Amino acid sequence: MADIVRIGRHHLAIDGAAALSLRAVARDLGVVSSAVYRYVKSRDELLTLLVVDGYDELGDAVDAALAEVPGDDFVGRQAAIGRAVRAWALAEPATYALLFGSPVPGYEAPAERTLGPGTRVLRALVTLWTEAYAAGRLSPPEVEVSSTRLAAGFNAARDELGLDVPDSVVAACVFGWAALFGCLGWEVFGQYGRDGLGDPEALFELHLGMLAGAVGLS
Amino acid sequence: MADIVRIGRHHLAIDGAAALSLRAVARDLGVVSSAVYRYVKSRDELLTLLVVDGYDELGDAVDAALAEVPGDDFVGRQAAIGRAVRAWALAEPATYALLFGSPVPGYEAPAERTLGPGTRVLRALVTLWTEAYAAGRLSPPEVEVSSTRLAAGFNAARDELGLDVPDSVVAACVFGWAALFGCLGWEVFGQYGRDGLGDPEALFELHLGMLAGAVGLS
DNA sequence: CGCTTCCGAGAGCACCGCTCTCTCCTTAAT
DNA sequence: ATTAAGGAGAGAGCGGTGCTCTCGGAAGCG
């Protein structure tokens, strides 16, 4: 079982999710393809295993990075999260694509197995920004939520995460989350062109600063 | 030829890029698969045709939306671009994923055929923000580009687009571009959860406002 | 009429996901 | 020790994929 996941990760890293083949995993395992079906119900099941594996590894990387930064250094914590996700994404672009890129056609990750590990990075960001807000170090732009459905969605999100923050902080969290991963995806997926504007790492550091400014973190 | 692209687009919209099958296109065309190879060299060639087609359609949609907004309404123009891209992305999520999502493994879009149409949206955004800067309506956050390689990349980008703006504007353009598509990708690819926080459209409008704030547009 | 050129059909190769059956081989209970 | 049970791999087979090859017919042209 562990071998299957290991070889699967290897193939995922080399060939990408769409090319992940249970038969190839079986070949590398020195076994006929039907034997693998004893352990993994289907190719989608293997994908799910790799999704959970990836979320866990990314979550661990983020947690480890956060442990090195003092709790009241909010800008530093945000940068640590960003750099940790970026480093992991560049090291495992195919897994990053599987988790945060376009969905694999015909495959939907089962929420009951991926929702927990899948939101660890989001929770880390939300925790950071809400703590900063409580400490008076987050001044997000004012927003007015005129849509009652969106207000309900914000309330649901607040309940789910146990937060007590105004709409502007929720909006900043959502925007900051999406913007951060937007910058990351753009780099990992090569939208900046082949050379990434010369120095992708420096560009990302710039983006981290602009992100802090956008959510009002100081 | 036109039929092939049309049916290909249909399959792309329904099944996604990875499931795009030249054999299925041939079936729908009422023809045996090898016949299609007379016109399309390979599956990747078909993908390239669809990529160019998608870029063109998206670019046209953005241009049409911009034509409805007065040139000095910079916030309105930014919103128009954002809404146009969003509407097109929601209408054609598979094509959007093909253009802006994770790369299809083993496929690389040939730059000479996709670079022109592929940068139309970026050019629209850059034009908007640089014009706003020239009109004194864009006050992006100050940045210092300490990496010489990144500075060279910024200069190359300035030359390529024929701009005369400081580093802070270039940085704002890149960040705004990535952040906008980050928000869009998050929604299109379903990272906001099944219900999109209750009202995806209202959320996007919020994000548009925060984006304007982040790049300093007024 | 003959010739070339195009176009579709068909067979075939190797790969894929997945299912089925068959045969071992280990384990546990009697 | 014998026997029953279950796990594990092998192998064949189904329909699908991308792609290549050859063949035959049709259309245009000298």
Provide the residue range defining the domain that includes A206: 70-215
Contact flag, residue A32 CB and nucleic strand D, below 7 A? yes
Contact A147, A183 (CB under 8 A): no
Residue B18 confidence (pLDDT): 81
Domain membership of residue A133 (yes or no) is yes
**Helix/strand/coil (H/E/C) assignment for every residue in chain A:** CHHHHHHHHHHHHHHCCCCCCHHHHHHHCCCCHHHHCCCCCCHHHHHHHHHHHHHHHHHHHHHHHHCCCCCCCHHHHHHHHHHHHHHHHHHCHHHHHHHHCCCCCCCCCCHHHHHHHHCHHHHHHHHHHHHHHHCCCECCCCCCCCCHHHHHHHHHHHHHHCCCCCHHHHHHHHHHHHHHHHHHHHHHCCCCCCCHHHCHHHHHHHHHHHHHHHHCEC
Confidence at residue A112, expressed as pLDDT on a 0 to 100 scale: 85
Within-domain flag for B29: no
Specify the pLDDT at position B15: 82
Residue A209 lies in a domain: yes
Within an 8 Å CB–CB cutoff, is residue A174 touching chain B?
yes
Q: What is the pLDDT of residues A40-79, one digit of tens each?
A: 999 999 999 999 999 999 999 999 999 999 999 999 999 9
Nucleotide with smallest C1' distance to residue A26 CA: D9
Q: Is the pLDDT of residue A105 over 80?
A: no
Residue with tokens 């880390």: A124
User: B166-204 pLDDT, tens per residue?
Assistant: 999 999 999 999 999 999 999 999 999 888 899 999 999
Residue B104 lies in a domain: yes
Highest mean pLDDT among A115-119, A213-217, B15-19: A213-217
The answer to whether residue B47 scores a pLDDT higher than 90 is yes
pLDDT at res. B110: 82
Please name the member of B145, B199, B214 whose beta carbon is closest to the beta carbon of A147.
B199
pLDDT at position B113 over 90: no
> Would you call B145 and A202 a contact, using CB atoms and an 8 Å cutoff?
yes
Which CATH number does the domain housing residue B93 bear? 1.10.357.10
Q: Does residue A142 fall inside a structural domain?
A: yes
Please indicate if any CB of chain B lies within 8 Å of the CB of A203: yes
* Interatomic CA distance for residues A191 and A185, integer angstroms: 8
> What is the rounded distance in angstroms from the CA atom of residue B204 to the CA atom of residue B83?
8
pLDDT for A110: 86
**What is the four-CA torsion angle of A163, A164, A166, A167, rounded to 10 degrees?**
30
Structure token digits, residue A99: 């988790």
Q: pLDDT tier at A166 (50, 70, 90 boundaries)?
A: very high
How many folded domains does chain B comprise? Answer: 1
Range A15-40 average pLDDT: 92
- Is residue A128 very low, low, confident or very high in pLDDT (cuts 50, 70, 90)? very high
For an interface test with A, give the residue of B169, B174, B175, B195 to mutate (most A CBs within 10 A): B175
Residue of higher predicted confidence among B82 and A106: B82
**Which bases in strand D are touched by protein, i.e. have an atom under 7 Å from a CB?**
7-13, 16-22
Percent of chain A with pLDDT over 90: 85
Residues 6+ apart with CB under 8 A from A70: A76
- Do residues B68 and B88 lie in contact, with contact meaning Cβ atoms separated by under 8 Å? no
Question: Can you read off the two tokens belonging to residue B78?
Answer: 């930014």
- Residue A18 pLDDT greater than 90, yes or no: no
Question: How would DSSP label each residue in chain B?
Answer: -HHHHHHHHHHHHHH-STT--HHHHHHHHTS-HHHHTTT-S-HHHHHHHHHHHHHHHHHHHHHHHHTTS-TT-HHHHHHHHHHHHHHHHHHSHHHHHHHHSSPPTT----HHHHHHHHTHHHHHHHHHHHHHHHTT-B-PPP-----HHHHHHHHHHHHHHT----HHHHHHHHHHHHHHHHHHHHHHTTTTTTTGGG-HHHHHHHHHHHHHHHHTB-
Is A27 a domain residue?
Answer: no
In single-letter form, the type of residue at position B72 comes to D
Average pLDDT, chain A: 94
Is residue B10 assigned to a domain?
no
Q: Does residue B114 sit within a domain?
A: yes
16-35 of B, contacting A, C-beta below 8 A: 16-19
| Residue bearing tokens 């990708």 | B185
- Give the C-alpha distances (Å, rounded to integers) separating B4 from A51, B35, B50, B174: 35, 11, 10, 36
Would the pLDDT of B82 be above 90? Answer: yes
Distance A44 CA to C17 C1' (A): 10
